[in-house]
Structures are given as structure tokens and as C-alpha cells.
Structure 1
Amino acid sequence: MDKRVLLPTDYSRNALNALRYAMQLYKDVECDFYVLNAFQVSGYTLDSMMVPEPGERLYETAKKDSRVKMERLMKMIKLYPENPKHRFHSISTFNSIVEAINHVIAAKDIDIVIMGTKGLTESRARIFGTNTVAVMERIKECPVIAVPVDYSFSTPKEILFPTDYKTDYKKQEIGHLIEIAKLHDSKINVVHIDKDKDGKLSKSEEANKQLLQDILNGSDYEMHFVPGVKVSKGINLFMENKPCDMIAFLNRKHWFFGSMLSNPLVKEIGYDPTIPILELNDN
């Protein structure tokens, strides 16, 4: 399988770490990596009526700064051990990060976006930076992996996939999770977290559970049940007993992941992401 991977960067240490993670995650896969910097112009917002034009001093200064840093980054990439399966392409553009990502996804037929959890200007108190939250909430065309600050690559042998069985599943949206699991011989740990202690499923929930099992058939997976706790507590309890290398969420508009991102993450689910998060989209 050939992959087209989009790597947004603000040239921060976290962004570079996410780039290295992507190279390791797909080290055995033919990949085209598109390194994207969406630059801004100081004092302007894309929503304002005053947008700097190409040729204007501030625009050209920001453009030059972006391209100089991109050239430096591409030279740095060449210092890493060469992988003949990997090809790198650079894109520097004046735009918001979300609009730039959407444009490149469409233009380059991107399969997955991999980025850091925060950038240059994010405070240490924030687990996810504002750009990462915006990308995860608004990019619907492909999955997004968020890589924590200073995370050192570890083969994702155990993947946590929490669910409540409230909605049905589609092969297409779960397919990216299955693909990564098969690539690394990973086990997918499906964890049903239920605030009620009995764990009884309604007919529709039972049907959704069976559908998920049908989709996962042929993969290495295991079903788990964590009773009597909220999602936040259930995730932490499971991770304490069975450490995982990646956590995958299906981003339903009405499910907990969307609301989780809209609020401070650590308060909403009490989960400090020390491992990469794979966000799967509701197609």
C-alpha cells in the first residue's frame, strides 16, 4: 500500500517529533510525505477585511521566513537514515492551518494527517494546542494522529479503542485503524465503558457490537468491559492494567470525543495523552 501523509509544521520541536514518528510508523511503507507550513502575517487575521497581498513587504517577509525555515527542515530530514521508500515534498502557503490542510488533502489525495499536540506558542498547561483541536474538529476527510510532546516512537503493539456501542460502524471509518494494526501486528483492545454496572446492551447496541466484530474479523482484537465508571475513569483504569501504545477514537459529532476536544482535555476525560491519539472520522 502506498500512503500519502500530510505533516503540518510550525517548525517547532513538537512538529519535528511528529514528523519523526510518521517516518517510523510507516518505515516499511512506500510513502509520499507532504510537509506543510501555513504561514501568517503579523497583525493580520484571515477573517479581517485587510488581507496582505503578495508583493507587500509584510507578506513577502513572512513568505521568505517560512521558506527559509522549510529549506532548513528539509536539509535536516536528509540527515536522518535514508529510507528509499520515503519521498518528501514541501509546501509553504499563506493560509489558516485548517484551510491549508483541507486544500492539500484535496489536491494531493492525502490518506492521513500526522501532527504534534501543540506548537510554538502553546502554553505548557494545555495538553492539546488550539491548532490541533481545530484540525481534529474540522478535518473530516481523513484520520488525524496527534503525537504528544517528547514522545519517543514505540511500535503500537497495543491499541486502545473505547466505545459505548451507541452508534453503528462502517468499514471505511474503522479501516484506518485496522490498517495500522495489521502493519505492526497490533492488538486492538475494544473497551466498552459503561456508567451502569450491569453492562447490559440494548438490541441496537448488541447489533452495533456484532457489526464492529464483523468489521474487525481477521484482525487481532479483544473485547473488554469496564463497568460503573465514566469514560475518563474507564480509559485510565484500563491503561493502568494494560499499557497501550496508541489510543483511537471515532469522532462522532454527538459522542464524547467532539465535546472532549472543545473543553480542556485533561478536565473532560482526565487523560494526559502520553501516547499518540488516532482520531477516526465519521464518514
Structure 2
Amino acid sequence: MDKRVLLPTDYSKNALNAIRYALELYKNVRCDFYILNAFHISGYTLDSMRVPESGEPYYEAAKQESEEGMEKLMQMVKLHPQNDKHEFHTITTFNSLTGAIRNVIDKKDIDIIVMGTKGITESKARIFGTNTVNVMEQIKECPVIAVPNNYMFKTPREIVFPTDYKAPFKKKEIGDLIEISKLYDARINVVHIDKDKDGKLSRKENANKELLQEILQGTDYEMHFLPADKISSGINKFIDNHGCDMVAFLNKKHLFFGSILSNPLVKKIGYEPKVPILELNDN
């Protein structure tokens, strides 16, 4: 079956940039791309006592605006070099973004989501937009790639995969990391960031490290140890020193740093993406 990629859009430049990134990343893969716009109606939320319905003026106006936006977007997508491996499907729906994404994942059996780190209304002061944080926090059914604003596609050659070895790994959890590595002969740099700076692993951590090495057999990978006071500065330093093109995180609840993207932790970690982030979920 072809790879099924979900591309949420709010018709911003950032969202278009993420779509272009996805088309390049999977240019040699047979893909069905589902481009999704979840539209809203000003003055109404999905929790309102009464939600406008199809046929009502507010609803129809918002729907038309969404459909016109999609038409313009598809014209721009068609300017991208045509690829006979790629098929496009468009979806416009009245829903919250996470609600709409869940529906599409259920109905279309989506493999991965690719989106921008920020949307049209996001403040410049925030590293990640609310929508991106919500999707990465709440959608556990498939991985998410978040593409920083204005990031131009570069062939992934070096991927950094930070871990503390606290939990065992499963092959299916890191399948997308392995797939991208094999697509581009990219090296996976497994980085153990240690605040204690002694690099010693417990018996359990050692067992988890060995399990990861077994899973990564057949890929180009290297294991690194990095003493760092702050996880974020450790990651950023490693990216700079090794010219990394992607960061992969396994988002395990309450482990490592829970989720790098939950709001208090974004402030605590101060992680500002320079390269696309592949967020993998524990199943």
C-alpha cells in the first residue's frame, strides 16, 4: 500500500513550506497526500451550545472560504515539480484541528503527519505554535514531522536521536526513523545526554541500549555520549557540530522529558528547532 501522509494547512506560508518539505522528503516513495483544512466560524466554538450547521449562512460562508483557500493552495502545489508517484486528496471540514486529524487518521489509515511549527496567527515570541503542540501532545496514532518556518529542504544525512535509555524500545515505535535513514543513507546519531556527566548506565539502561542497537542493525548508526547541563543546549550543540538535518524524539509519557513540546517544558528546555523534528510515539 502507498504511504499515506496527512498535511494539515491553515493556508499560511509556514504550512505551504511544510507541504513542500513533505513532497521532497517522500519524492521517491509512492504516496497519497491528504491536505486538510479544519475551518472555524468566528464567534463559535465546538463547545458552543449551538453550532452552525450546513446550509446556514455563517457555515456556508466559512466553508466557501476554506474551499477557495484549498483551490489556491492546490494551484501552488501544482507549481512543484510533478511526480507520478504522488496523489493528492483535499479535505475541508468544520472541526477543531485535532478532531479533524483524528477523523482523517481513522478513515484513511494515515501513516505520518507533516506540518509547520507555527501557523498563521502564531506569535513570534513562541517557539512552537499552539496547534503544533496540541497535535504532538494529543495525537498518538502516528508520528509527526514539524518543519521550522522558512526551512528549505535538505537531504537528511545526519539525524540526531537523543535518549536517556530509561525505557525499552520497540521496533514499530522507531520505524519511521529507520525508514527515513534508509531512504537517504542517513546516519542515526543516538545521543545519550547525561546531566551527571559520568556516562555510567545502570543494568536496565544498558539492556535498553543493547536492544536499541539490535533494532538499528542494518542502518548506519553511531552511539554518542554527551555531558550537558541542559538537554536543549546539548542537542543544539550536537546539531551544530555534526551538521544534523533532523531531530527525532520518542515521546514517552513521563520519561526522558515527558514530551519536549508540552508548554511548560518548551519554556524549561528552551528548545528552538533549527531543523525538522520527527516526533515518534510509544505505542
TM range (shorter): over 0.9
Q: Residues 215-234 of structure 1: matches in 2 within 5 Å?
A: 215-234=215-234
Alignment partner of 1:260: what SS? coil
User: How much does 1:266 deviate?
Assistant: 5.5
Which residue pairs with 1:98 in the alignment?
Answer: 98
Deviations 1:138-194 (A, max 9, x none): 111110000000000001100000000000100000111000110011000000001
Which residue pairs with 1:19 in the alignment?
Answer: 19
Which residue pairs with 2:267 in the alignment?
Answer: 267
TM-score in terms of structure 2 length: 0.97
Gaps spanning 5+ residues in structure 1: where? Answer: none
Task: Pick which of 229-238 and 13-22 moved more.
Answer: 229-238
Deviations 1:100-143 (A, max 9, x none): 00110111111100000111100111111000000000111110
User: How much does 1:229 deviate?
Assistant: 2.6
Deviations 1:38-84 (A, max 9, x none): 00110001122221111111111000000011111112222221111
User: How much does 1:237 deviate?
Assistant: 2.5
The CA distance in 1 between the partners of 2:127 and 2:265, in whole Å, is 7
User: How much does 1:264 deviate?
Assistant: 5.7
Q: Percent identity?
A: 71
Alignment partner of 2:173: what SS? helix
Alignment partner of 1:267: what SS? helix
Alignment partner of 1:74: what SS? helix
Contact 1:126 1:264 in 2 (8 A): no
Contact 1:10 1:120 in 2 (8 A): yes
Which residue pairs with 2:113 in the alignment?
Answer: 113
Q: Residues 5-154 of structure 1: matches in 2 within 5 Å?
A: 5-154=5-154
Number of corresponding residues? 283
Gaps spanning 5+ residues in structure 2: where? Answer: none
Deviations 1:209-243 (A, max 9, x none): 00000000110000000125331222122123212
TM-score in terms of structure 1 length: 0.97
Please tell me the residue identity of whatever aligns with 2:216: L
Q: Residues 129-278 of structure 1: matches in 2 within 5 Å?
A: 129-263=129-263, 267-278=267-278
Contact 1:3 1:32 in 2 (8 A): yes
Task: Pick which of 47-56 and 27-36 moved more.
Answer: 47-56
